[in-house]
Amino acid sequence: ISHDIPAAFRVGQQIAMLYRGRIIAKGTPEELKAIDNPYVQQFIQGSPEGPIDITEY
């Protein structure tokens, strides 16, 4: 489990992303970078803008 995306992508062969207790994406780092899911992309990019309300956390 990690919030350090660059490190996870360096060492992980398969990665899963959890959101609200559910797996919303899984795959290789390359697959996750290419996935068309705004939640995944916001998290990977570390953006404050997007569907994830960062004020909740």
DSSP string, 1-57: --S-HHHHHHH-SSEEEEETTEEEEEE-HHHHHH---HHHHHHHHT-SSSSS-GGG-
Give the pLDDT confidence of 6-57 residue by residue, as tens digits.
999 999 999 999 999 999 999 999 999 999 999 999 999 999 999 999 887 6
Q: Residue ranges of the domains in the chain? A: 5-44
pTM given for the model = 0.83
The pLDDT assigned to 46 comes to 92
How many angstroms separate the CA atoms of 57 and 43, rounded?
13
Whole-number pLDDT of residue 23: 98
* pLDDT for 1: 84
Query: Which residue reads 């959890």 in tokens?
Result: 18
Return the pLDDT at 50: 96
- Which is higher by pLDDT, 3 or 14? 14
